[in-house]
Amino acid sequence: MSEHGGAIVVVDVSTSARPDLSTVDVLARLQLTARRHGSSIRLRHTSPALRGLLDLAGLTEVLLEHQREPEDREDARVEEVRDRGDPTG
């Protein structure tokens, strides 16, 4: 890792044919180490099995947040629903 930080390290996980919880552990520790140095990792070619394990471990947002496609993201807009009995103002 660079002393300057801010770098994004791309990790190609396509060769992880059968990811398991030890795979998730290694990726989480790698992300923690990167963040301690002011950087982060970005996973490339994540399989559905790995994404499922990350979700199960509660690490989806930690490891995949910045690479999700726009159509996969939840809509961030907030709509206010008013009750007809509420005063306007």
Instruction: Write the pLDDT tens digit of every residue in 28-53.
Output: 999 999 999 999 999 999 999 999 99
Q: Does residue 76 have a pLDDT over 70?
A: no
Whether 48 and 57 have beta carbons less than 8 Å apart is answered as: no
Give the pLDDT score at 1. 47
Retrieve residue 24's tokens.
Answer: 């998730």
Q: Sorting pLDDT into bands at 50, 70 and 90, what band is 87? A: low
CA distance 2 to 19: 28
Tell me the pTM: 0.66
Q: Does residue 10 have a pLDDT over 60?
A: yes
Residue with tokens 């998730």: 24
Give the pLDDT score at 66. 57
